[in-house]
Amino acid sequence: MRSPMSGHRTFRPSIADRLTKAAMTASGSLPGPVIQLAGGAPRRIDGQVLDPHFQAGVRVMSLLSEGEYEDLPLEQARQTVERSAYTVSGNRIDLAVVKDLVLPLAGSDQPGDETARADLPARLYSPVHGDEPLPMLVFFHGGGWVLGSIDSHDATCRYIARMGGLKVLSVDYRLAPEFLFPTAAEDALASFRYVRDNAESLGVDPTRIAVGGDSAGGNLAAVVCQQTRDAGEKTPDFQLLFVPATNMSARTRSFELFGEGFFLTGRNMDFYETTYLRSDADRLDPRASPLLAEDFSDLPPAHVATGGFDPLRDEGEAYARKMADAGVKVSLRRHSTMVHPFVNAVGATPLARAALSEAVGALRMGLAY
């Protein structure tokens, strides 16, 4: 087992953090007009109006900010992400099983790059006790392949497991700059293969295994689907892609519109990509930019959810259209009033919970409940 986990240290909230979380959780139940007083005049861009809860949240986060991630020491940036996620996580959802474990991948005979040969920490969530086979979502957290952890996305995974009535395995894949591209992609691929090949021992229905994630995690989930298809293997049965990063080779109009002032910035993305990639040549590799793949046919059914006020909006939607044009069953949903990290805000706004519930519904239908 590696130590430390992906460079991540356990976050311990201070009293101030707990008070901020309580305030953010309470604000999630307030009506929009009241929240608007804290957030200011409505932001209107590209025919969209930013939700008051997210507008107020962005404002509060900017007031509490220690600086942009790219300007902070790496460990401080990682702790800042953990703190931000904690403050919007809401009341903890209790499940029958929440268990930390290690995926024993280092000794497995997995094909592919040697970077996949590492034991990976993970967290298993289940709404029930016992060995009854349930569907599973193998989840990859966001954070630009540099930040984030299984802790930062704990609330999201708990919500999906409870609402979906399925197991979730959140994978603590290795992060840059300690481990450069394609390590994260290889870790994600090896993790899915492990679940697929050991479904019975994990209490998982082998015919209903999905992959998913947000942002960088959505990127990794898409790559897993492409890589298993290209290898002629059994692919995931569904892909759940939240605000996915799909193209590091170009910038879209949504970067121009929302690259400043809506949580995720253009400078953040530049930092993530240059930290993760070995060189500019990697930008053209479909394992980094799945939108550049030559073939989009025969991929698993997908639900793609984007945020209206997100720099990654257009590339996520372009990926959904590419799959649909190739005959893949895809549901595409733009949440036009929300910013990039809405899946993490389940405790701070009812719209985030509604968006996540909608995606879980698509997941359940895709796995043929």
pLDDT of residue 232: 98
Q: Are 222 and 235 in contact (CB under 8 A)?
A: no
Give the other-Cβ count within 10 Å of 210's Cβ.
27
Catalytic residue chosen out of the listed positions 84, 310, 314, 335: 310
pLDDT tens, residue by residue, 326-355: 999 999 999 999 999 899 888 888 899 999
Q: What gap in Å lies between CA 273 and CA 251, rounded to an integer? A: 12
Q: What gap in Å lies between CA 151 and CA 170, rounded to an integer? A: 9
Q: Are 242 and 305 in contact (CB under 8 A)?
A: yes
pLDDT of residue 130: 81
Where b means 16+ CB within 10 Å and e means fewer, 54-85 reads bbbbbebbeeeeeeebbeeebeebbbbbbbbb
pLDDT of residue 4: 38
Q: Which two tokens stand for residue 318?
A: 């372009």
pLDDT of residue 20: 82
Residue 104: alpha-carbon gap to chain centroid:
23
Q: Are 247 and 277 in contact (CB under 8 A)?
A: no
The residues, ordered by sequence, that sit 6+ positions from 279 with a Cβ below 8 Å of its Cβ are none
Where b means 16+ CB within 10 Å and e means fewer, 116-131 reads bbbebbbbbbbbeeee
Write the CA distances from 156 to 64, 213, 228, 352, integer angstroms. Answer: 22, 10, 26, 10
Q: Is 215 labeled as catalytic in the residue annotation?
A: yes
Q: Are 6 and 148 in contact (CB under 8 A)?
A: no
Q: Is 8 labeled as catalytic in the residue annotation?
A: no
What end-to-end distance do the CA atoms of the chain give, in Å? Answer: 36
Residue 76: its H or E element: helix 74-87
Catalytic residue chosen out of the listed positions 27, 152, 215, 289: 215
pLDDT of residue 65: 73
Q: Is 310 labeled as catalytic in the residue annotation?
A: yes
Pick from 94, 30, 27: which is nearest to 59 by CA? 27
What single letter denotes the amino acid at residue 367? Answer: L
Q: Which two tokens stand for residue 102?
A: 């290690």
Computed over every residue of the chain, the mean pLDDT equals 91
Q: What gap in Å lies between CA 101 and CA 89, rounded to an integer? A: 22
Please give the chain's pLDDT, 369 residues, in tens.
333 344 445 788 888 888 888 877 876 666 666 666 665 678 999 999 998 888 887 777 777 778 899 999 999 999 999 999 998 888 999 999 999 999 999 865 555 555 557 899 999 999 999 878 999 999 999 999 999 999 999 999 999 999 999 999 999 999 999 999 999 999 999 999 999 999 999 999 999 999 999 999 999 999 999 999 999 999 999 999 999 999 999 999 999 999 999 999 999 999 999 999 999 999 999 999 999 999 999 999 999 999 999 999 999 999 999 999 999 999 999 999 999 989 988 888 889 999 999 999 999 999 986
Where b means 16+ CB within 10 Å and e means fewer, 220-247 reads bbbbbbbbbbeeeeebbbbbbbbbbbbb
pLDDT of residue 34: 62
β-sheet bridge partners, residue 78: none
Residue 139: its H or E element: strand 134-140
Q: Which two tokens stand for residue 150?
A: 């299984």
